[in-house]
């Protein structure tokens, strides 16, 4: 093979290599874009919120501070597979969570009407909070760039500080996992 024929072959190989590198960089950038930057850390004051719920009430974190621990289980969308499994887990095994002195909620950026219908369809016996403005999800650091909440559960102690953040929620065992975390955190039992 002469120099004249080797050079185009080398340029072709170099071009393929550069395209594959560029593709990897684009892919890495896409994953960085989809993964939300979690603003809250353990020990931070939890952002106060005032959100309407599926039970017709409005809940404010400030009403619980100094009185009771709170758990907010953020979920992406009502009526989707994983969210339905998670909601049913919490509804069917809520007695495990109610053994603790805690108020617990699921929350999403869905409209209140959707969350109310979702709560009814899953038999949820706890409130589902609606944040259609996305302001609270943004303050909690769970709003992803696609416009919905990431599946994260935030545990807030009696003093209103973040006690734990579960970024790897398993929908099918969410109630059992939540109860185990509450025990681990030393939340008082009823």
- pLDDT by 10s per residue, the chain, length 190: 555 555 665 565 555 644 554 544 443 333 333 444 457 899 999 999 999 999 999 999 999 999 999 999 999 999 999 999 999 999 999 999 999 999 999 999 999 999 999 999 999 999 999 999 999 999 999 999 999 999 999 999 999 999 999 999 999 999 999 999 999 999 999 9
Whether 110 and 71 map to the same domain: the answer is: yes
Whether 88 and 148 map to the same domain: the answer is: yes
Q: Is residue 146 part of a domain?
A: yes
Whether 26 and 56 map to the same domain: the answer is: no
Measured CA to CA, the distance from residue 116 to residue 83 in angstroms comes to: 14
Domain extent at residue 141: 50-184
Q: Is residue 118 part of a domain?
A: yes
The number of folded domains in the chain is: 2
**Choice among 46, 69, 83, 124 that is catalytic:** 83
73's CB contacts (< 8 A; 6+ apart) are 86, 90, 104, 105, 106, 107, 153, 169, 174, 178
Whether 25 and 62 map to the same domain: the answer is: no
State yes or no: is 83 an active-site residue. Answer: yes
128 phi, psi to nearest 5 deg? -105, 120
Helix ranges restricted to H, the chain = 3-34, 81-92, 94-98, 112-122, 135-140, 174-184
For the whole model, what pTM was predicted? 0.80
């Amino acid at each position: 093979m002469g120099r004249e024929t080797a050079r185009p072959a080398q340029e072709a190989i170099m071009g393929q290599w550069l395209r594959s590198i560029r593709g990897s960089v684009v892919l890495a950038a896409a994953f960085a874009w989809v993964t939300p930057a979690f603003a809250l850390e353990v020990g931070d004051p939890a952002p106060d919120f005032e959100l309407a719920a599926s039970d017709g009430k409005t809940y404010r974190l400030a009403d619980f501070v100094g009185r009771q621990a709170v758990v907010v289980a953020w979920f992406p969308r009502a009526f989707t597979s994983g969210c339905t499994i998670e909601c049913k887990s919490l509804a069917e095994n809520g007695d495990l969570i109610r053994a603790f002195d805690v108020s617990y909620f699921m929350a999403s950026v869905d409209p209140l009407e959707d969350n109310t219908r979702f709560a009814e369809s899953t038999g949820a016996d706890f409130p589902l909070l609606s944040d259609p403005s996305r302001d609270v999800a943004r303050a909690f650091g769970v709003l992803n760039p696609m416009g919905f909440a990431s599946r994260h559960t935030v545990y807030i102690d009696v003093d209103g500080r973040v006690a734990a953040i579960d970024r790897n929620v398993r929908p099918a065992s969410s109630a059992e996992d939540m109860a185990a975390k509450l025990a681990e955190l030393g939340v008082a039992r009823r």
